[in-house]
Structure 1
Amino acid sequence: MSDGGTTSDDGPGTGGARSRNSGRDSGVPQRSISRAAKLASLPIGFAGRTTLGMGRRLVGAPANAVLTEVQIRTAEQIFAVLGELKGGAMKFGQAMSVYEAAMPPELVEPYRHAFTRLQDDAPPMPTSTVHRIFAGELGPKWREQLIELDESPAAAASIGQVHRGRWYDGREVAVKVQYPGAAGAMRSDLRQIGRLSRMFAVAFPSIDVKPLADELAERVREELDYGLEAQAQREFSAAFADDPQIIVPEVVTHTETILITTWMESKGSLAQVITDGLPSERDHYGELFARFLFAGPSRAGMLHADPHPGNYRIIGDGRLGVVDFGAVARVPGGLPPVIGRLLRAAVDDDYATVVDGLRSEGFLKPGVRIDEEIIRSYLEPFVEPARHDLFTFDRDWMREQAQRVSRPAREGLGTAMKINLPPSYLLIHRVWSGGLAILSQLGATAPFRGILEESLPGFAD
């Protein structure tokens, strides 16, 4: 399956694709009230669980047992609510689910299914709403362009759902339709989630929730602009057109809220491989996933910036399909070579060069002094995969890294507070962290060092 979009505006019966607002916000006020009420219910439940936990402490229950129970109940309620919502709540849930591998097993097991569902599914729009959007965007004779349409969505996600159809020239296509009122709903949800960061911190102590919600809110405009997504997908499709292992569907046409791409038949997504894949499948698709992430900047001048498993499709012939190009980091000329040079210096245990490089790139502010040994202790776990010809990622390793960064020791939060992340590196850092988390969920063994030597500028020099 695919959820891409397209750009050519030709086709019979329309006089070209048009952008209209017809039907776009129908019924939104009532849904917005319902969404707000569901999100608002979260802190009420959190307060009740916290009070219950304090009461149990007073009567002698062990502190760790009480905290675990509160975390589990809080997480269960969070995902029960997020799982019923689209827009920003679903988008946030999908983004956060990438970091499931960093969470303690006693917390993640009760709601791992909810994580997977957030990565790959969401409630569908009514058929009448879909038809109304088609008429508003493609014109009243839209069926002359889209001559066949499966009324049941093949996939549904945070801001749109995908239908299978046939274009007037005979091509099978994937039609992504944006939910009515998606823009307002996403911004509202993400603002409210940011305000609830204290509650999320109880359930997910290793994940800094507020910056994640803030970053997603800043990127809402780009992800809702299907013209930008069509352009990005067109460039990725061209860049990987001859790749024997990666497939990106071609763009057919687009409007403001509809993207149409060639249909890509798949057996599922990386989410299914994470759940029940064979070791050989985990290694194979984990390697392809890593190769795509690092090859994108040099080939297409962009980094696919939405690394959750539902965007990576398993093709029957062993290839990896990639969809959803609404979030990309544009890096003309590829990733900055300084990243590769500093990573290589760390691999070579040259931390004097690493510290100097971090300072010159703005990661260390003027006047901030930090010992080389502390930087080594803080960064070494993240450098470890690049030290080996083959490296096995797993959940225990990922949890160790998350705990190291979050602990209030010199090499943990004490060091993190001294490191500044320049805005130009924000998305790169998020994609790299998310990519490592997905590889750890897969439990994949991959030639990570070789991938870096092939695709990360500065690393092999």
Structure 2
Amino acid sequence: MTKAPPTSRLVRATALGRLAAGQVLRQAGTKVAGLGRSSEKRQLLLDRRALAAADQLVSVLGGMKGAAMKLGQLLSVLDLDLVPDSSRPEFRRKLAVLLAKAPAVPFSDMRKVAEDDWGAPIAEVFAEFDRNPVAAASIGQVYRARLHDGRAVAVKVQYPGIATAVRADLKNLALFLRLAPNIFPGLEMGSLAEEIRLRIEEELDYRLEAETQHEIAVQYAGHPFIAIPDSVAELCGPQVLVTEFVEGMDFDGIAEQPREVRDRVGEIIYRFYCGSLFHTGDFPGDPHPGNVLLRHDGRVAFLDFGLFKRMSPESIHLERTVLRAAADGDAEQVHARMAAAGILGEPDRIEPDEVLAYIEDAVGWYLADAEIEATPELAAEAMISSIDPRSPHYRKMRWQYLPPEHLFARRAELYAFGLLGRLRARGNWHRIAREWLHGDEPATELGQVDAKWRAGDTPEGYEPR
């Protein structure tokens, strides 16, 4: 157990500063210590330093929660070439603690937040309440409970003072970014910081999340392979979210399943996180391992709707036409549509072929008509192509302006691909995407089942596998 996260801006800035400075000293110490050593011993030293850095990241970022911890969660999903190859799996394993098993805050601290929100003691609200959290994330902690009517529910409670802590993080972000290159050399942190700021701000009001989750649960009610737990509106407040409890295999367990299972779950993840926009005009914006469970009935359950974006029809049309033109290799059309939308701030500074090459590097995994096995390395390359100044596209594409809703769409794609990479899922992602980009008939069994369900005609006798 840890105490509640610090809320003072100075304390939080100091913690981030110590983390950055510690990595600088550690890097310098490694260089000095490596002098005169054999290549094998130098590699061993680098591995030890990298794993020590992971321990420090988990300790500092996990203890701070809020926006600071989101950075650690990103690193646990994507392979960003920050440590030597030999120690990367262990590095990712350590950082994965930040996804669902972050240091927990004592129940006594969390109980006061919940009871203040309900205006009643826990014993009056629930028939049973397990004081041991089942998950601890960046904004809140999740508990299992049972209502008086017998329903099992998940109760997410915000950390005490987290709103103040988040605002302190956002104010300190500029300071952290000046130090960040020492921890994450080569990353352009500005766009990442803005994404984190928007993400956290929308997560703070659990009433908004409860409303959104209910809408999505109704929307997917009866779906043959997607399950969304509904919220319990009367028990939700600004700092407490109560939803149906979902039993299922966690992401690590899914990743150990046979190829057939991993490919199937991968396709469902892709359809949900990337296809939703074109089916319904909105999409969930926070793909990460802690938000995916494989139910015993074969359906995949998706959790956490703190960030859920809705697009205007005009923006969806722009998304579809640009991506369709990119899939067709039409560089002139891609350039023209992005310029007309104001995304290319100075269109004359970049050639059509350069814009197309940038898009292909970022989302080529579903633009290419081929069966592709997603890997952590491919996911990292896609991310780096989008935000790394070392990318060959960076000098030209830095002039683009991507409106927030489109930025969130790219984020969802990149993070979803990160999940597919963790599963090493295989598929012709292009043929699936053509359903919503080109209006093609479904090319897979899941696509056919989904299309019939959306038409109100789920196949007779269909059972999720």
Both structures adopt the same fold (TM-score exceeding 0.5): yes
Aligned to 2:454: none
Quickly say closer, same or farther: Cα 1:73–1:155, change in 2 above 3 A: closer
Is 2:418 the counterpart of 1:431?
A: no
Quickly say closer, same or farther: Cα 1:244–1:311, change in 2 above 3 A: same
Q: Is the 8 A contact 2:309 2:405 kept in 1?
A: no
Aligned to 2:132: 152
For 2:326 and 2:301, the matched residues in 1 are separated by 33
For 1:61 and 1:214, the matched residues in 2 are separated by 43
Q: Is the 8 A contact 2:291 2:304 kept in 1?
A: yes
Deviation at 1:30, TM superposition (A): 8.0
Q: How does 1:331-370 map to 2 (within 5 A)?
A: 331-333=311-313, 336-366=316-346, 368-370=348-350
Match 2:258 to one of 278, 283, 288 = 278
Name whichever of 280-289 and 140-149 sits farther off: 140-149
For 1:353 and 1:334, the matched residues in 2 are separated by 17
For 1:205 and 1:424, the matched residues in 2 are separated by 28
Q: How does 1:275-314 map to 2 (within 5 A)?
A: 276-298=256-278, 300-314=280-294
Q: How does 1:438-453 map to 2 (within 5 A)?
A: 438-453=419-434
Aligned to 2:238: 256
Deviations 1:130-184, CA, capped at 9 Å, x for gaps: 3323321222354233121111112111111111111122211111111110111
Match 2:398 to one of 417, 428, 434 = 417
Aligned to 2:462: none
Deviations 1:37-77, CA, capped at 9 Å, x for gaps: 53332133133234435646887999xx7996776654553
Match 1:39 to one of 16, 30, 41 = 16
For 2:381 and 2:4, the matched residues in 1 are separated by 46
Deviations 1:409-459, CA, capped at 9 Å, x for gaps: 784322332333233312112111211222122211124223323334x56
Q: Structure 1: which 5+ runs fail to align? A: 1-25
For 1:195 and 1:146, the matched residues in 2 are separated by 44
Quickly say closer, same or farther: Cα 1:92–1:247, change in 2 above 3 A: same
For 2:334 and 2:141, the matched residues in 1 are separated by 45
Deviations 1:55-102, CA, capped at 9 Å, x for gaps: 46887999xx79967766545533342233322222332234332266
Match 1:129 to one of 106, 109, 125 = 109
Quickly say closer, same or farther: Cα 1:145–1:405, change in 2 above 3 A: closer
For 2:384 and 2:237, the matched residues in 1 are separated by 45
Deviation at 1:322, TM superposition (A): 0.8
Aligned to 1:13: none
Secondary structure in 1 matching 2:145: strand
Deviation at 1:204, TM superposition (A): 3.5
Amino acid in structure 2 at the alignment position of 1:250? D
Q: How does 1:37-116 map to 2 (within 5 A)?
A: 37-52=14-29, 55=32, 74-100=53-79, 105-106=85-86, 108-116=88-96
Q: Is the 8 A contact 1:155 1:162 kept in 2?
A: yes
Q: Structure 2: which 5+ runs fail to align? A: 442-465
Q: Is the 8 A contact 1:194 1:214 kept in 2?
A: no
Q: Is the 8 A contact 1:147 1:168 kept in 2?
A: yes
Amino acid in structure 2 at the alignment position of 1:236? I
Quickly say closer, same or farther: Cα 1:296–1:437, change in 2 above 3 A: same
For 2:320 and 2:46, the matched residues in 1 are separated by 40
Q: How does 1:14-25 map to 2 (within 5 A)?
A: none
Quickly say closer, same or farther: Cα 1:55–1:287, change in 2 above 3 A: same
Quickly say closer, same or farther: Cα 1:105–1:150, change in 2 above 3 A: same
Quickly say closer, same or farther: Cα 1:433–1:410, change in 2 above 3 A: closer
Q: Is the 8 A contact 1:374 1:410 kept in 2?
A: no
Amino acid in structure 1 at the alignment position of 2:408? L
Secondary structure in 2 matching 1:122: coil
Q: Is the 8 A contact 1:187 1:220 kept in 2?
A: no
Q: TM-score, normalised by structure 2?
A: 0.81
Q: Is the 8 A contact 1:307 1:435 kept in 2?
A: yes
For 2:175 and 2:164, the matched residues in 1 are separated by 17
For 1:197 and 1:226, the matched residues in 2 are separated by 29
CA RMSD of aligned residues (A): 3.3
Quickly say closer, same or farther: Cα 1:453–1:345, change in 2 above 3 A: same
Is 2:95 the counterpart of 1:118?
A: no
Quickly say closer, same or farther: Cα 1:99–1:338, change in 2 above 3 A: same
Amino acid in structure 1 at the alignment position of 2:284? H
Q: Is the 8 A contact 2:24 2:182 kept in 1?
A: no
Q: Is the 8 A contact 1:297 1:335 kept in 2?
A: no
Deviation at 1:408, TM superposition (A): 6.4
Deviation at 1:202, TM superposition (A): 4.3
Quickly say closer, same or farther: Cα 1:231–1:277, change in 2 above 3 A: same
Amino acid in structure 2 at the alignment position of 1:359? A
Aligned to 1:15: none
Identity of aligned residues (%): 31
Aligned to 1:214: 194
Q: Is the 8 A contact 2:17 2:179 kept in 1?
A: no
Amino acid in structure 2 at the alignment position of 1:281? V
Match 2:379 to one of 369, 392, 398 = 398
For 2:430 and 2:6, the matched residues in 1 are separated by 51
Aligned to 2:445: none
Deviation at 1:190, TM superposition (A): 4.4
Is 2:168 the counterpart of 1:188?
A: yes
Secondary structure in 2 matching 1:83: helix
Q: Is the 8 A contact 1:71 1:202 kept in 2?
A: no
Q: Is the 8 A contact 2:62 2:98 kept in 1?
A: yes
Number of aligned positions between the proteins:
431
Secondary structure in 2 matching 1:349: coil
Aligned to 1:22: none
Q: Is the 8 A contact 2:4 2:105 kept in 1?
A: no
Amino acid in structure 1 at the alignment position of 2:18? S
For 1:130 and 1:406, the matched residues in 2 are separated by 37
Amino acid in structure 2 at the alignment position of 1:428? A
Secondary structure in 2 matching 1:368: helix
Quickly say closer, same or farther: Cα 1:301–1:387, change in 2 above 3 A: same
Match 2:177 to one of 197, 203, 206 = 197
Instruction: Indicate the structure whose relative CO is greater, using CA pairs within 8 Å and at least 6 residues apart.
Output: 1
For 1:394 and 1:50, the matched residues in 2 are separated by 28
Secondary structure in 2 matching 1:196: helix
For 1:427 and 1:287, the matched residues in 2 are separated by 20
Name whichever of 35-44 and 216-225 sits farther off: 35-44
